[in-house]
Amino acid sequence: MARLDPPPPSRSIDPSFVIVEPDAALMRVFNPHRPWHPGPVSFNYYGPYNRFDHHRSGSPDAARGVLYAARTLSCCLVEVFGDVGVVDDPGCCLARITLKRGLRLVDLCGAGAMRAGTVTAIGAVPDRALTQAWARYFYEMPVYQRCDGLRYHGAHNNEECFVFFERAEEAIASDLEDTIPLNAPRIYPLILQHALQHKLLVTF
């Protein structure tokens, strides 16, 4: 695996950006039973815990929140349950996300990662403190043009993933009718299909 150094970059950079348009089909898996009772488009201000959480030390960080999303159900499932290998929480829900405006993201896929000053391994390395340091750097440095978040390839199946910073919070919406529990009859067969494809066990 390529070496991932901490920020700042040691070479000159020329970051590239992608625009996620309002008609993009995005989704996320979330657990509404967490202590802070997240909803379909709730940003998490508790952290840093996950890969690209840009929170500062101390939790919660009222000024910095994140929301993770993907284009496919398979990507959502492996990002949430891949580490444990078991889809074991029927209380989790799938939400379809809509955007009110295009969101500008630093591209960390392919050549974009090196253009941004890092390497594509940033989406897969287990060192969360290191990837979170990069997230804070992308968020804070003017050269990244006050980005709305990051695009990267997920560690589990290399599919396209997104993390949105709270700058994008007002632009993200979801109809409650587009939010369903993972054990709902109309989606459960797809859960089983994707779990089988990725060798995940479903226990509900």
Please provide the DSSP assignment of 131-142 as one string.
HHHHHHHHHH-G
pTM equals 0.96
Percent of the chain whose pLDDT exceeds 90: 92
CA distance readout (Å), 62 to 39, 41, 46, 70: 17, 16, 8, 25
Please determine, for residue 58, whether its predicted confidence score (pLDDT) is greater than 80: no
Q: For the chain, how big is the Rg over CA atoms in Å?
A: 17
Decide if 200 is inside a domain: no
pLDDT in tens, 92-122: 999 999 999 999 999 999 999 999 999 999 9
The widest CA-to-CA distance across the chain, in whole angstroms, is 52
36 occurs within a structural domain: yes
Q: What is the extent of the structural domain holding 109? A: 17-84+93-178
Give pLDDT, residue 1.
66
Q: Quick check: is 4 in a domain?
A: no
Q: Is residue 198 part of a domain?
A: no
Look at residue 187 and tell me if it is in a domain. Answer: no
Which residue(s) pair with 20 in the sheet?
103
Average pLDDT rounded to a whole number, residues 46-56: 96
Q: Which DSSP category does 44 fall into?
A: B
Using pLDDT thresholds of 50, 70 and 90, give the confidence band for residue 36.
confident
Residue 6 lies in a domain: no
Give me the number of domains the chain comprises: 1
Instruction: Reply yes or no on whether the pLDDT at 59 is more than 90.
Output: no
- Tokens standing for residue 136: 């804070």
Lowest-confidence region among 5-9, 47-51, 56-60, 196-200: 56-60
User: Residue 83 in 3-state DSSP?
Assistant: coil
Average pLDDT, the chain: 95
Are the beta carbons of 65 and 166 closer than 8 angstroms?
yes
203 found inside a domain: no
The answer to whether residue 194 sits within a structural domain is: no
